[in-house]
Structure 1
Amino acid sequence: MLTRREKLLTLPWQQRRYDHHRHKVQSALPAIDVGPPSTRGHVCCKLKKQQNEQERITQIELNNCRLLQRMGTIMKTNRLDNHWVNPPPREGREHVENEPHDCWLQTSVTKPNIDRADALIRENRCITIKELGAMLSISVGSVEDIMKYQLHYCKVNGRWVPQTLMDVNKMVCMQVASHLLQQFEDEGDAFLKSIVTTNETLVHYFIPESQQSSRGKQVAFFQHNARPHMAKTMETLRKLKWNLLTHPPYSPDLAPSDFYLLGRLISDLQGMRFVDDAVIQTVQEWIHCQPQAFCEKSIRMLSEHWKKCVDSGGEYVED
């Protein structure tokens, strides 16, 4: 019968492990002072150090007492931490939020700028962020903050629209799209061939070559409350007994001129520079050069957009 130690010494690696453990135990034992006893000089030096330390502590306490005697009234009744962080309840303050003061950093995201930006967007739904910044005299970053976090706008087919549609707007879009889709299923291609659509866009004398230029920016937005000259046109069409199709508000994704025609017009003209009114002739030539299938394709895409709008519950249709 082997003892515990003999079992530990059976294999070489166990022997090394045992020796290492024994060395650690021995090194952890308290060291025994086997040196010569302290002399009188050593004892006097140690006592002198203790005396100096005691004198230093006494001097600090004395200075503290003198400070309290001179500033005691202020320190006891008007502590700085109580005055700045936690005012007494008797002052009537019950909230912990920071109050307005002159040391706050100046920001361009103010109520007047937000209201003016909203008014400019409602007037021109295809205005750019740079143009808004120039009109408001603020930076592009501030305009982006206003558009995204204050007004909650996003761009759909080159137009500023609400980032999240209200339930009422979704219901209107879904009902209009469902009605038009049903009419298309009943009449077929004859219904699409009878559609006449119109829109307008602003073409500058110079269209820079940029990614955003190909998104159809500067497209005029026709709201449901039409402008005076548009109202006159609509009245004339009613007298001619034309069938006026309903177009829901905030729906550039359901207008073929927005999601197909004008975006390609701006894309083809980017990088060109015009003098005077030569841009008018260029746009007219571009329109006349387009084949008949080009416009037919935009009209035929309407049925797909109507179906996507109905299936998504009135949400924006993304290509």
Structure 2
Amino acid sequence: MELNREHFRAIIFYNFRRQLSQQECCAELISVFRNEAPHQSTVSRWYAEFKRGRVSLSDDPRSGAPKTVVTQENIDAVRMLITEDRHVTYREIEASLAISKTSIQKILHEELRVRKLVSRWIPHLLTEEQKEARVMWCQTTLDRFEAGNSKNVYSIVSGDESWIYSYEPENKRQSSVWVFQDEEKPTKVIRSRSVSKKMVATFVSKAGHVATIPLENQQTVTADWYIAICLPKVIAELRKANPQRRIILHQDNASSHTARKTIEFLTYQNVELLDHPPYSPDLSPNDFYTFPKIKNELRGQRFQTPEEAVNAFKNAILTVPTNEWNNSFDNWFERMQKCIKFRGEYFEKQ
């Protein structure tokens, strides 16, 4: 026998008269009807109705609005409300125009053909000049490296800095588990990211990981640290086998990267510089690939110290196969083409 809504309301009323609590009523319904049981909010709503003295289990008669409410006047009014406030809700439109939810739905989806979407998060609100700079950089870089087909791509080393935390919680996708039909829905306590952290500078190439250097005894990357400790280790690693190896360093516009002493150091070391357009993490291999991938693998693991977390980061990055680094650099040049296609706008999730 298939129970309808009124059957369940009768059971809720019976449990109400038995003076069971809402929680006890829900538990009893779930134990008997499993997935067919009404939601807790439904039980709460009907308990409130019964407390007010309601005796009918049938739906309240609805005041049907005439079909003529879908008029050009109301269509224009709804359009105006949306134009003035893109967050406006059904309830607010209903209260403002005194027309039914059904009519509003018809106006929105059949007449105006609008959809309510979650906003796409972007790193920065780009100006027209910044968009043009992104397009120009992409076009220049694509030409210089033959859209990624030039052998000189293997000379590029891309570097960037990021915080490594002693604990970062799993995201919702990672915490998903298989549940059988007769099992309760799993729960998980919300955990916040730890404040214990250490910054690292990571450098990668098309051939693989080059170096990861932790920032010791300070919180800020300075030009002095960058040219005295960080870059010498990177250059030494790259020229270990070939002291004359060509190096093209790609880095963003952080002050430590663009300082005069940094530029002078790179010139002295015969390192070529590949600049980077402002506000463009989507065009940096570490930002769109390395850091998200490795940090995602470390999520949910709890480390005793930031140093332990950094060691785990280093170990994880060494397990990435060469073909994935190769693919990430191919993806880099594909991203440049997308940036041009979208005229400098952020193109992810477009």
**TM-score, L = length of structure 1:** 0.44
**TM-score, L = length of structure 2:** 0.41
The structure in which a higher percent of residues are strand is 2
